[in-house]
């Protein structure tokens, strides 16, 4: 069983070597870094790691408009065309600990189409977040659940594991969103396509190095996104 971890990066030079070295300890796990011409030289560091781990690490240097959503779409399209069994999404900033990956892959191997690394399955498992950010995230998830009908505890997390064949069933061409709205869109699309979605508990640790790219525009987009989805498709009924 082989897994391809897609890791979008923008200015993650301190974090990416640590993350990739940890991932290389897991057998069957390969990495594709999706770098958006990071001004801090993350792309060159990813290239050096690709040389260090030939055949297991590759770096994609994106051009054109930058963004989390468009980077993942590039990565998804490439991953779908491979023979990997599982495709993982994870942040580069060490918030998503690779030690949870084997359980997430195992859940997908047992039959889940999408496994969500969930911070809110057993209470609230978030380290180093100020209270206001926990409240914001909880409210966002409650709001999205209520509007869309998605029955998941953590919809805005970026740590996920897909069965590649299931990811290939999504109409990715319809996605135009970015940031958290992108994560919501693909989750909604997965449920709407009838995919089996499971949550697997993780403890999320806030970044120590590098800066946040969270902008108010991205937050605003995610407030509107649930309404766009239900106006277009209706609420999710079977979750």
Count of residues engaged in binding ligand GTP, rule: CB under 6 A: 21
Partner from ligand GTP, Mg ion, none binding residue 22, C-beta < 5-8 Å depending on class: none
Count of residues engaged in binding Mg ion, rule: CB under 5 A: 4
Q: Edge-to-edge strand order for the sheet containing 197-201?
A: 57-61, 29-35, 3-9, 86-89, 160-163, 114-118, 197-201
Among 91, 113, 154, 185, binds ligand GTP (CB under 6 A): 91
Q: From 223, 224, 3, select the one nearest 107 (Cα to Cα).
A: 3
212 belongs to the binding site for ligand GTP (CB under 6 A): yes
Angle of helix 68-80 relative to helix 179-192, nearest 10 degrees, comes to 40
User: Which residue is it, tokens 């946040």?
Assistant: 212
Four-residue CA torsion sign, 111, 125, 4, 177: positive
Among 6, 10, 149, 182, binds ligand GTP (CB under 6 A): 10
Q: From 176, 131, 129, select the one nearest 157 (Cα to Cα).
A: 129
Tell me how far CA of residue 66 lies from CA of 11, 39, 50, in angstroms. 12, 12, 22
Which of the stretches 36-44, 58-66, 68-76, 206-214 binds Mg ion when contact is defined by CB under 5 A?
206-214
Question: 3-class DSSP state for residue 126?
Answer: strand
Partner from ligand GTP, Mg ion, none binding residue 141, C-beta < 5-8 Å depending on class: none
Residues 100-139 contacting ligand GTP, CB under 6 A: none
Min. distance of Cβ 238 from ligand GTP in angstroms? 29
Q: What are phi and psi of 100, to 5 degrees?
A: -85, -10
Among 61, 213, 228, 233, binds ligand GTP (CB under 6 A): 213
> Residue 167 corresponds to which tokens in the numbers above?
């990811």
Among 38, 95, 157, 200, binds Mg ion (CB under 5 A): 95
CA neighbours within 13 Å on the CB side: how many for 46?
Answer: 27
Considering the complex, state which of residue 67 and residue 149 has its C-beta at the smaller distance from Mg ion. 67
Residues 30-69 contacting ligand GTP, CB under 6 A: 34-36, 66-68
Ranges of beta strands (E only) in 14-119 are 29-35, 57-61, 86-89, 114-118
Partner from ligand GTP, Mg ion, none binding residue 195, C-beta < 5-8 Å depending on class: none
Considering the complex, state which of residue 185 and residue 192 has its C-beta at the smaller distance from ligand GTP. 185
Considering the complex, state which of residue 3 and residue 156 has its C-beta at the smaller distance from ligand GTP. 156
What is the binding site for Mg ion (CB under 5 A)? 91, 93, 95, 207
Instruction: Please report, as ranges, the residues that interact with ligand GTP according to CB under 6 A.
Output: 8-10, 12, 34-36, 66-68, 71, 91-93, 95, 158, 206-207, 212-214
């Amino acid at each position: 069983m082989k897994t391809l971890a897609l890791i979008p990066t923008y200015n993650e030079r301190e974090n990416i070597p640590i993350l990739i070295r940890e991932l290389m300890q897991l057998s069957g796990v390969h990495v594709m870094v999706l770098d958006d011409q990071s001004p801090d030289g993350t792309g060159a560091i990813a290239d050096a790691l690709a040389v260090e781990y030939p055949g297991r690490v590759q770096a994609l240097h994106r051009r054109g408009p930058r963004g989390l959503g468009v980077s993942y779409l590039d990565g998804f399209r490439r991953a779908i065309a491979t023979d990997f069994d599982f495709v993982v999404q994870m942040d580069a900033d060490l918030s998503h600990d690779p030690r949870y990956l084997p359980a997430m892959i195992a859940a997908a191997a047992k039959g889940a189409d999408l496994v969500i690394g969930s911070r809110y399955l057993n209470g609230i498992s978030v380290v180093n977040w100020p209270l206001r950010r926990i409240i914001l995230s909880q409210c966002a998830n409650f709001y999205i659940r209520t509007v869309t009908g998605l029955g998941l505890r953590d919809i805005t997390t970026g740590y996920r594991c897909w069965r590649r064949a299931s990811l290939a069933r999504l109409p990715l061409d319809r996605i135009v969103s970015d940031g958290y709205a992108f994560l919501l869109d693909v989750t909604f699309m997965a449920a709407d396509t009838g995919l089996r979605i499971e949550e697997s508990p993780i403890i999320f640790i806030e970044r120590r190095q590098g800066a946040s790219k969270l902008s108010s525009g991205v937050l605003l987009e995610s407030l509107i996104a649930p309404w766009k989805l239900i106006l277009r498709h209706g609420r999710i009924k079977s979750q």
